[in-house]
Structure 1
């Protein structure tokens, strides 16, 4: 999609932080629209995150079940977490996989990135694959509670088709896995850091 997109761009005129929390910041900006009028934009500023698609040697995926307070229910998800200040995405992926599941990987591959809610957040989640897994001990954060489960990708796909898996990062990870296994998308594997 090449071409000039100036006719679509909005320009920031003013910005205000309306909330600053431990994880998120909410801003209210005034922007100038392409036609010259001004409008308001409210959005969430997020530090970024990673999601890991952990592949066991037998083909199953290492998954998590955890309660998600905003939805008021337990969700099935791929391991994921926030990028800490000064930390690179691969370091975050390695750390989160070990902390949440106990597993360590021999090889890693960056698949790509996804923007979770482009209309109201700048959050970007990097998608990482991990293989050559060896089990270890979980080191959950204080107040973090989750169950680790291992699922066959076909089972996860069936659950997604029935609407039982609704987490966007997990659905995108599943799609990427299917495209890679079909030979349509490549993964640049590298040894663990």
Structure 2
């Protein structure tokens, strides 16, 4: 048992949607006092670091309603029930970019917002990219523009504050530090 673990005594689901479930947990803290926790339950997701043979990072630009702005991001998507992260990664790569990959390398799994959400993202590097003639269609409510950006430029964009998405920042730093040029 973790010395800081909070024991849940009651869970109330207040919303169960298509992507997330919202819960309020009554917990007992390590010192024995009660507290409430507002939690977002998410099925998890994957993100990809697709790197072309000439060292360009394949990225997507899309509007994010929660922030009210368009962001430049690495391709990503949520896990479907019963789907492994590897299968999700290959599916999302094809749907969002029109590429398949010769090699899919697990990089890490990380928590996105552990203070209130259980979402984890499984991050993969995708190399040996090959354009697909008739790729699977993406989500009908998702509008993205594909960009191929030299890694050095992506690093500069990160340094200049032009990249605002955490999974993308992490991905660019990993690609740069691992020598994927």
What is the TM-score with the length of structure 1 in the denominator?
0.89
The aligned counterpart of 2:68 is 72
Structure 2: gaps spanning 5 or more residues: none
Runs of 4+ in 1 over 6 A off after TM superposition: none
Taking the TM superposition and a 5 Å limit, the aligned residue runs for 1:79-98 are: 79-98=75-94
The aligned counterpart of 1:29 is 25
The aligned counterpart of 2:143 is 145
Alignment size in residue pairs: 178
User: Which has the larger share of strand?
Assistant: 2
> How many angstroms does 1:118 deviate by?
0.5
> Does 1:12 find its partner at 2:8?
yes
What is the TM-score with the length of structure 2 in the denominator?
0.95
Taking the TM superposition and a 5 Å limit, the aligned residue runs for 1:51-70 are: 51-70=47-66
Q: 1:109 aligns with which of 105, 109, 113?
A: 105
The CA deviation string for residues 56-107 of structure 1, in whole angstroms up to 9 with x for no partner, is: 0000010000011111111000000000001000000000000111000011
> How many angstroms does 1:5 deviate by?
4.1
Task: For residue 173 of structure 2, give the secondary structure of its aligned residue in structure 1.
Answer: helix
Aligned CA-pair RMSD: 1.2
Q: How many angstroms apart in 2 are the aligned matches of 1:64 and 1:76?
A: 6
Q: How many angstroms apart in 1 are the aligned matches of 2:48 and 2:115?
A: 24
Task: For residue 181 of structure 1, give the secondary structure of its aligned residue in structure 2.
Answer: coil
The aligned counterpart of 1:168 is 166
